[in-house]
A = this chain, B = another copy of it.
Amino acid sequence: MEGVRIVNREIQLVKRPETVPTHEHLSITDAELPKPQEGELSVELLYVSVDPYMRGRMNNTKSYVAPFQLNEPISGGVVAQVKESKAEPFTTGDIVTGSIPWREKTVISADSVRKVDPTLGSVTTSLGILGMPGLTAYFGLIDIGKPKEGETLVVSGAAGAVGSTVVQIGKIFGCRVVGIAGSDEKTSYLTNELGADAAINYKTQNVAAALQDACPSGVDIYFDNVGGEIADRVYPLLNKFARITQCGAIASYNVPNDQGPRIQMHLIKSSATIKGFVVGDYQVRYKEGFDHLSKWLKDGKLTYEETIHEGFENIPDAFFGLFKGSNTGKQLVKIADPR
């Protein structure tokens, strides 16, 4: 590819975090902008999604996705606009989504993105309720949680992009839904706007006691986004044949060798199942998920919230904020308006 130096920026991983990621680990750097070759697109970022799973890619360990390379740009979910196309069926002006580098203007292989139809609603839904977080909520709850009417579903990280969708799908299936989140604004959002039957503020309440109050018939399904001490409080309440969807463990992401009570005896006592998963495991069933989520959204059975920061240079802070619980719903950064 022929390089042409213009004003362009990218965000690189320059140091691997041992614990909490900070500005010392990410660097905003000048970037080149080559011309697109056959099969490529030149695109400009509109929205960047920051997601907790990206923390795992900052470690140099084998996981379900390859680690980010040092002194290379971070990549993740974005919405972008095509500026120049050398690949059918894309044309200039198209809105696309995919997982591509955090670089303001970039040249990508056309098969790393798909078109978004902006007439169907906000293009940002492709990063949220109709994207990876929505599908994560759908398959994690339906396929692993197997919700049945009248069962009690506990959701941690309940006000986040995934959790807030799980809460609502749980209500669609007739569960008693108890959400756990980290502020009174979030717990109000859960009960007043998402229909949760109860919500617990883990920063101000005694979680064990509050869970016992909120789950008088025990816990049948635990959709776990956080792990750590919150999970410790849920395990003792598991009913016979309980299902735990292990979607995330954000409480452990920044804690090397995190220790806690061993959980095997809880699983034996209740004949419970814990299943870890990543949404990519369900790729062959994405259409099923999209269809359900789109229909529920259209029917007003699902709603969503977005926390949107602005400016390419503010992507790192938006990412760091995930670990402080600063977002409600999907955390995005807006880079530019479509033109």
Instruction: Tell yes or no: A109 within 8 A of B by CB.
Output: no
Instruction: Tell yes or no: A314 within 8 A of B by CB.
Output: no
Query: In the complex the two chains form, is A231's CB within 8 Å of B64's CB?
Result: no
As a 0/1 sequence over residues 238 to 269 of chain A, the CB contacts with chain B under 8 angstroms (1 = contact) are: 00110000111100110001111111111111
Question: Known contacts A260-B262, A261-B258; is A249 also within 8 Å of B278 by CB?
Answer: no
A246 proximity list for chain B (CB < 8 A): 264, 267-268
**In-complex Cβ contact of A257 among B261, B271, B276 (8 A):** B261
State A262–B255 Cα separation when bound (angstroms). Answer: 10
How far, in Å, is A89 (CB) from chain B's closest CB? 34
How far, in Å, is A156 (CB) from chain B's closest CB? 11
Query: In the complex the two chains form, is B259's CB within 8 Å of A262's CB?
Result: yes
Instruction: Tell yes or no: A63 within 8 A of B by CB.
Output: yes
Instruction: Tell yes or no: A94 within 8 A of B by CB.
Output: no
Query: In the complex the two chains form, is B271's CB within 8 Å of A273's CB?
Result: no
Question: Known contacts A259-B261, A262-B260, A265-B252; is A273 also within 8 Å of B270 by CB?
Answer: no
State A249–B275 Cα separation when bound (angstroms). Answer: 19
Identify the closest chain B residue to A232 (Cβ): B262
A247 proximity list for chain B (CB < 8 A): 268
Query: In the complex the two chains form, is B263's CB within 8 Å of A263's CB?
Result: yes
Identify the closest chain B residue to A273 (Cβ): B275
How far, in Å, is A254 (CB) from chain B's closest CB? 12
Instruction: Tell yes or no: A277 within 8 A of B by CB.
Output: yes
Instruction: Tell yes or no: A193 within 8 A of B by CB.
Output: no
Instruction: Tell yes or no: A274 within 8 A of B by CB.
Output: yes
A273 proximity list for chain B (CB < 8 A): 273-276
Instruction: Tell yes or no: A227 within 8 A of B by CB.
Output: yes
**In-complex Cβ contact of A276 among B261, B262, B270 (8 A):** B270
Query: In the complex the two chains form, is B269's CB within 8 Å of A262's CB?
Result: no
Question: Known contacts A259-B259, A261-B257, A261-B258; is A276 also within 8 Å of B267 by CB?
Answer: yes
Question: Known contacts A264-B224, A264-B231; is A269 also within 8 Å of B276 by CB?
Answer: yes
Query: In the complex the two chains form, is A276's CB within 8 Å of B260's CB?
Result: no
State A249–B281 Cα separation when bound (angstroms). Answer: 30
Instruction: Tell yes or no: A17 within 8 A of B by CB.
Output: no
State A258–B62 Cα separation when bound (angstroms). Answer: 28
Query: In the complex the two chains form, is B276's CB within 8 Å of A271's CB?
Result: yes
State A272–B244 Cα separation when bound (angstroms). Answer: 12
Question: Known contacts A276-B269, A276-B272; is A252 also within 8 Å of B248 by CB?
Answer: no
Identify the closest chain B residue to A255 (Cβ): B262
Query: In the complex the two chains form, is B275's CB within 8 Å of A272's CB?
Result: yes
List, sorted by A's number, 6 A–B pairs whose CB atoms are closer than 8 Å: A63-B269, A224-B264, A246-B264, A252-B265, A258-B262, A268-B278
Instruction: Sort A-B residue pairs by CB-CB distance and give the 8 closest, nearest first.
Output: A267-B276, A249-B264, A227-B264, A268-B276, A273-B275, A258-B262, A274-B274, A246-B267
